Structure 1
Amino acid sequence: MRRSARTRPPVLDRVTLLDLEPAAADDLEPGAALEGRLLEDADLSGRDLAGLVLSECSLVSATAHETVLRGSRVLETRLERLNAPVLDLARSTLRDVEVTGSRIGALDVYESSLSSVRFTGCKIDWINLRGAELENVLFEDCTFVEVDLGGARAARVAFEGCRADRLDVAQSRLQDVDLRGLQVEAVDDLSGLRGATLDRGRAVELAELFAAHLGIRIEG
């Protein structure tokens, strides 16, 4: 049977959390493992929480400026109204995660693994996904200054109702990456768009960039 040429969308299930026990900021320590906990209005700023494991947890209205979560595992967890001018999640694992209504300045998730992750209604100045692996990831109603996918491997990733000033896809490997819902002003390394999907309008908007990339002069 001939395989469909249509772009495959991300496959995501909603995160369902029941009977969560309250937790305090002091319960979070480097390398600690929390399961089934609810953390509200916590200030985690400046904390080194490297290697933290959160499973079936909910963080609501947390502040996490310059919080270090490098090498952490975030599983079946919901993050709501997170405020984080700088957040380090490099080399971490995010699986079955929802991030909603959050304001993040610089989000470092380079060389991380993101599987079944949904970002909804977030404002992120710079999301650093360099060298990351993404599978079944959805960004909806989000605004960015820069989305950096340089060197990333991404499959079944989609943007819906999103805007970005700049998209960097240098040396990325994309498969079923749907950019039809991403209004973007500039793209770095157009050759990295191989495997992405654009609509006609986006392709026309980027026509001059494609022409310059191919050495084509447009006159008249």
Structure 2
Amino acid sequence: MSSSKFNLRAWASNSPSLRALTEQYKVAETKETVKVLGLCWNVGLDELSLCSKPEPVRTPVTKREILCYTSSIFDPLGLVTPVTITTKLLLQELWQDNVSWDIELNDTYQLKWASIVADISIASQQCFPRQCIPKLDPSAATLHVFADASPKAYGAAVYIHCGNHSSLLISKSRVAPVKQHTQPRLELMAAVIAARLGSFVVNSLNHTTDTFYWSDSQIVLSGSKVRRA
């Protein structure tokens, strides 16, 4: 790289010895937090957090402003899905009520949105360990995929477990369709997301890992038994 006049710099690492080496050659990253794959990485603490820190909502609060604010939240791993799904539910309500794009929302919707913004602000400050299973053998880990559904939303979450430690890896959620579906159907839709998410994580880990799928729906459990048979 030097022969081609490429000046390498801003190296970041959670290894103290490697950081010392980069400082010696004056190529160390000076910022305490850097961006990695859409997330913020605190190098010293080795923790991930959301980089998305939306600006305060401008007034008046309209459907357009809510959509703009919601779109600025980037959560590729679904680490704060319980918060982000509420924004989608509110937007669905606004669509169902045929609320115009630039009409100020009524007091009921504004109170709901204020509560959601407060939750987003708290979620943006949460940090998650980058290393899922610290100081343990990854080959001994097991994956646990949970699927669940409600009349309003459905989804799945993948956890990795080893010994007495477990970590959230990824989650995905969907707002229930406007056309009302039965609860068993929504549970099955959640199971489909769980199966796809589990398969994605197993392939990404690139090694054999025991995977367990969990659901509290008798329809889903009975269906899986029939398929296995």
Report TM bin, short chain: under 0.3
Q: Which has the higher helix share?
A: 2
Larger radius of gyration: 2
Q: Name the TM-score, length of structure 1 as normaliser.
A: 0.25
Q: Which has the higher contact order (CA 8 A, sep 6+)?
A: 2
Q: Which has the higher strand share?
A: 1
TM-score (norm 2): 0.25
